[in-house]
Amino acid sequence: MTAMPATDRAGLSRAERRKAETRREIIDAAFACFAERGYHATGIADIAARLGMGHGTFYRYFENKRDIVEHVITDLVERILGALGAENAPEAVDTLEDYRQQSARIGEALASIFGSDLRMPRLLLEAPGIDQAMSDRMLELFDTTAQFTAAYLDHGVRLGYLRADLDVRATAHAINGMILGSVLAALRDPDPERQHRLGAAIRAVMYDGIAAR
Amino acid sequence: MTAMPATDRAGLSRAERRKAETRREIIDAAFACFAERGYHATGIADIAARLGMGHGTFYRYFENKRDIVEHVITDLVERILGALGAENAPEAVDTLEDYRQQSARIGEALASIFGSDLRMPRLLLEAPGIDQAMSDRMLELFDTTAQFTAAYLDHGVRLGYLRADLDVRATAHAINGMILGSVLAALRDPDPERQHRLGAAIRAVMYDGIAAR
Amino acid sequence: MTAMPATDRAGLSRAERRKAETRREIIDAAFACFAERGYHATGIADIAARLGMGHGTFYRYFENKRDIVEHVITDLVERILGALGAENAPEAVDTLEDYRQQSARIGEALASIFGSDLRMPRLLLEAPGIDQAMSDRMLELFDTTAQFTAAYLDHGVRLGYLRADLDVRATAHAINGMILGSVLAALRDPDPERQHRLGAAIRAVMYDGIAAR
Amino acid sequence: MTAMPATDRAGLSRAERRKAETRREIIDAAFACFAERGYHATGIADIAARLGMGHGTFYRYFENKRDIVEHVITDLVERILGALGAENAPEAVDTLEDYRQQSARIGEALASIFGSDLRMPRLLLEAPGIDQAMSDRMLELFDTTAQFTAAYLDHGVRLGYLRADLDVRATAHAINGMILGSVLAALRDPDPERQHRLGAAIRAVMYDGIAAR
DNA sequence: CATGAATGAGCATTCATTCAT
DNA sequence: AATGAATGAATGCTCATTCAT
């Protein structure tokens, strides 16, 4: 017999696990509220009401409104980056054809993530309107993801299947811009068929250019 | 001589002209405030104070806060579209080389517009956070500008200097996405040299692709 | 004709005068509320309601709740000190008998001030419970008034009608303590007759001591 | 052997004794919190945290926040009155000189109590700001202590070493006021030397008066 | 027409208290 | 008996909007 509470595999006591679960639920509820009505139109009471809990309870889990949106965004970004980084890696590719296929897989993964729940891109789109700090964070996120893309490009240049004179950093921003463009287009018209054509168009621009032969 | 007030060439009386001027000033002041502090952090009093006028006066020119931001955005969009459409037209080009040069001109025009006053892209970025309607409007704007781009592409396809199998609509979104990406990059790091490289990278992707020859 | 608003003798425009009046009214209403229910039990809404005005209006005149109580106390202290300093001065007295009479006048003035409105001492008594800063301020006030008393004593020592070996500063605190004691007694039992006896007892202690001859 | 739990000399079971101890600890912790941060700024959680116990446990020992402060003040008052009444009694004195020495002892005892822990007078000072009832109680306390002093004076008058015409009740308030004044002065400047002079000044006023011979 | 005083809906946040475990 | 999670009443404060002057 010991006074120490039983812990699970992650070393968390029952209470800690419950607390983590509730935080998870609040993050999800807040995500839903923010995405549906927007950050400024959402009250803490809305988030609590969605979970059927008292609004005072919210403050047992998060400091304040700004705190929760920070966690919501962080969670969202992690989900996106996690889904992206999961099965792909720059080093996994040797030839242009492989790269093209990898691009397609990444594009499909992105389409799957965003397409599965349009609230995700919708919230990302609204995020810069929260405040200056969040706006900066979103710009930083765009830059960060461009670095991911740059890593892929860099690998291709080194292996010789991408142009040697590629301005890797700038091109990465351009490519990510195309992806962003397709996401915005999807928000207006979430037709899967159209998403597919957007992905194809992006790859066509990347590999074939737009000029006639 | 009549009792009718004198009117200028546009058929506006002196009073109407004065009113239009004041509306113009309010729009400019509101633009400045919204871009600097953000829509939600800006009060009507801030806008009025910037003009040295009473904040009650504001309501003689605009319905409410939502009304003014609508006009600010409209004005902003017009400035952008106006600057773009001014000297370029899809029909003015016959060859790929011409088109490439036209692209460069358009890119420079955009860089000039946005680069000259970063408050413009900053406000556009924050706009979707104002409310759902504004978010929709921004998505619509992205679509509208894509139609502009599509017109250029369409012209090129018809004249044969762009690929016959080009998915014009989807490609237009991709290209505009690249432009959007360069704008976002400029917001993080407004170095003109970098902007120039971003523009070049966009054109390189468009015309040369990223693949090695 | 001038654009300058008409001003009264104090150089205040009509609007400024009105504003000052309203501030005065708010201070009075707040004084009443704080004295009756206590600072912490009083809401801004209570103060506003007492004046029949919206509670938002309050914030046009005072920064916040702490601000108004600061002004209420300041006003209160000024009223007390003003009433005290009005007709008395240490230099106006030459003999012990004069001083004794002056003491009686000051005592009566104090009794008149506090006795006329028991909310004044009641609020002063509650003031240290507002917060640490106010508590310090009250202690400072006690010290300040002791300096007033000390000035009287000092004058008497110099003119020779008070003991040469008087510890002026310490004695001043003792005397003011007696006054404070009579105020506290008055709060419990505001019988004028009793106040009179308290004043007489204070003077008797001061001049005759308590010892039998 | 019976089912009755063992009891100590006071007739308390072990559990009752433990309960009393915990109450004692809570009172002490609450006293510390209230004196340091003030009643209104102190939360029940602060008190519990100071004892390292759950704040829910608090309510097993005291009804509510108002209840604990009542006990804290009661305890405080008892400590003061106890210390005062311990070794002194009106009847223990026969002559003015004895009385003067007794006064000095009482003064020293008070200075020792308050000076040893300034939180005591600080809490008493803040107490009237808790609510009306507590304010009344503090005034009552002042009156009660004046009755103590009055008993000493009464004894002196009866034995003839104090003035026969002394207004005992009023003079008692005046004397206690001086003591109160010295306590307030100590709160501002807790210099022991100064406290000593204040005590001496009080006795000088009492026995010698302030007038020159 | 300009003004700014007045307004109150609205919201984030705190914290004493309860009660299931 | 101890705990601390849950609760919601309570309140200070902001600011868009109105309207009398």
Chains B and D touch (3+ CB pairs under 8 A): no
CATH 1.10.357.10 correct for C66-208: yes
pLDDT of residue C197: 94
Run of H or E including C134: helix C132-159
- In this predicted structure, the answer to whether residue A14 has a pLDDT above a threshold of 60 is yes
CATH number for the region C13-62 comes to: 1.10.10.60
Candidates A135, A160, A161; nearest CB to B125:
A135
* Chains adjacent to D (≥3 CB pairs closer than 8 angstroms): C
pLDDT of residue A2: 41
Quick one: which residue's CA is nearest to F9's C1'?
A56
Length C17 CA → E7 C1' (Å)? 22
User: Would you list the DSSP string of chain D?
Assistant: --SSPPB-TTS-BHHHHHHHHHHHHHHHHHHHHHHHH-TTT--HHHHHHHHTS-HHHHTTT-SSHHHHHHHHHHHHHHHHHHHHHHH--GGG--SHHHHHHHHHHHHHHHHHHHHH-THHHHHHHHGGGT-HHHHHHHHHHHHHHHHHHHHHHHHHHHHTSB-TT--HHHHHHHHHHHHHHHHHHHHH---HHHHHHHHHHHHHHHHH-SB--
Interchain pair D206, C205: CB under 8 A: yes
Say if C190 is an interface residue toward chain D (CB within 8 Å). Answer: no
Q: Which of A133-142, B164-173, C89-98, D62-71 has the lowest mean pLDDT?
A: C89-98
Q: What architecture is domain A69-208?
A: Orthogonal Bundle (1.10)
Residue B163 C-alpha, separation from nearest chain A C-alpha, in angstroms: 4
pLDDT of residue A12: 66
Among A72, A1, A78, which residue's Cα sits nearest to residue A42? A72
* Chains adjacent to A (≥3 CB pairs closer than 8 angstroms): B
Q: Which of A27-31, A88-92, C181-185 has the lowest mean pLDDT?
A: A88-92
| Residue range B45-101, pLDDT digits in tens | 999 999 999 999 999 999 999 999 999 999 999 998 888 877 677 788 889 998 888
Quick one: which residue's CA is nearest to F11's C1'?
C43
User: Number of residue pairs across C and D with CB atoms under 8 Å?
Assistant: 205
List C residues 87-126 in contact with D (Cβ-Cβ < 8 A): 96, 122, 125-126
Protein-contacted positions of strand F (CB under 7 Å)? 1-20
Protein-contacted positions of strand E (CB under 7 Å)? 1-20
Interchain pair D201, C174: CB under 8 A: yes
CATH number for the region B71-208 comes to: 1.10.357.10
Around C172, how many Cα atoms within 13 Å sit in the side-chain half-sphere? 19
> Region A9-36: what's the mean pLDDT?
89
Residue C115 C-alpha, separation from nearest chain D C-alpha, in angstroms: 16
Length D88 CA → E9 C1' (Å)? 65
Candidates C173, C181, C194; nearest CB to D176:
C181
CA separation, residue B101 to residues A83, B67, B94, B104, B203 (Å): 39, 40, 11, 5, 10
Give A193's contacts in chain B (Cβ within 8 Å).
none
- In this predicted structure, the answer to whether residue D5 has a pLDDT above a threshold of 70 is no
Candidates C187, C202, C212; nearest CB to D160:
C212
Give D127's contacts in chain C (Cβ within 8 Å).
129
CA B79 to chain centre: 6
SS3 track for D162-197: ECCCCCHHHHHHHHHHHHHHHHHHHHHCCCHHHHHH
Q: Residues of chain B with pLDDT > 70: what percent? A: 93
pLDDT of residue C12: 66
Give C40's contacts in chain D (Cβ within 8 Å).
40, 129
In angstroms, the first-to-last Cα distance of chain B is 78
pLDDT of residue B16: 83
Q: Which residue of D has its CA nearest to C36?
A: D132
| Residue range D45-61, pLDDT digits in tens | 999 999 999 999 999 99
Q: Which residue of D has its CA nearest to C144?
A: D185
> Region D126-141: what's the mean pLDDT?
97
> Region D117-143: what's the mean pLDDT?
96
SS3 track for A61-113: HCCCHHHHHHHHHHHHHHHHHHHHHHHCCHHHCCCHHHHHHHHHHHHHHHHHH
pLDDT of residue B4: 57
pLDDT of residue A1: 42
pLDDT of residue C175: 95
Identical topology for domains C13-62 and C66-208? no
User: Would you list the DSSP string of B22-91?
Assistant: HHHHHHHHHHHHHHHH-TTT--HHHHHHHHTS-HHHHTTT-SSHHHHHHHHHHHHHHHHHHHHHHH--GG
Give D177's contacts in chain C (Cβ within 8 Å).
177-182, 184
> Region A131-160: what's the mean pLDDT?
94
Where do the domains of chain A lie?
13-62, 69-208
What is the spatial distance between Cα B185 and Cα B114, in angstroms, rounded to a whole number? 12
| Residue range B7-35, pLDDT digits in tens | 666 677 778 889 999 999 999 999 999 99
